[in-house]
């Protein structure tokens, strides 16, 4: 009986500590805006929300403009290994070359390095975790996230939503 009680108290204490740290991060996020925020950052290519909706498919609009995520395994670009360039589906800016693409096994197109100057980064604190969001440096469209578990030479895994990219064969 004592063992069960100690286990319950310990679990509740750890949960409380974790929750207070997360809530503290959320409060500091509100008090100190990030360098690149979703609503305040300006980009060379600017369109109204109505213009983006008219240009993009509903799925692409949800991902690129509302920071959504497509279902894993739903993009034909995940298994595309032809030579070419992957461009931002919102503005056509070249993002990745086919030489940097690899099969991460995650169900999303993955690359180990973007084209220089093509992407920007924002801290994403959604879903009780902190991740690095990747967006187009020209239009601000949400592309996906970058992680530190990719192959060499960079060790990075740019896990991109296929609907946010357009493939242009070489």
Candidates 88, 91, 139, 159; catalytic one:
159
91 noted as active-site residue: no
CA distance 59 to 44: 23
Q: How many CB atoms lie within 10 A of CB 152?
A: 7
DSSP state of 70: P
CA distance 8 to 169: 58
CA-wise closest residue to 72 among 10, 3, 163: 163
Sequence-distant (≥ 6) Cβ neighbours of residue 104 within 8 angstroms: 110, 150, 157, 159
Which residue numbers are catalytic? 159
């Amino acid at each position: 009986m004592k063992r069960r009680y100690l286990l319950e108290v310990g679990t509740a204490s750890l949960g409380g500590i974790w929750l207070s740290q997360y809530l503290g991060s959320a409060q500091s996020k509100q008090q100190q805006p990030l360098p690149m925020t979703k609503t305040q950052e300006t980009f060379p290519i600017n369109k109204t929300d109505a213009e983006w909706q008219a240009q993009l498919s509903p799925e692409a609009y949800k991902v690129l403009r509302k920071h959504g995520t497509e279902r894993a395994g739903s993009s034909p670009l995940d298994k595309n290994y032809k030579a070419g360039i992957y461009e931002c589906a919102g503005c056509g800016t070249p993002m990745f070359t086919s030489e940097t693409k690899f099969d991460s096994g995650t169900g999303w197109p993955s690359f180990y390095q973007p084209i220089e100057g093509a992407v920007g980064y924002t801290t994403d604190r959604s879903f009780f975790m902190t991740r690095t969001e990747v967006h187009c440096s020209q239009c601000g469209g949400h592309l996906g996230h970058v992680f530190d578990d990719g192959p060499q030479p960079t060790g990075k895994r740019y896990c991109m939503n296929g609907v946010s990219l357009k493939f242009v064969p070489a």
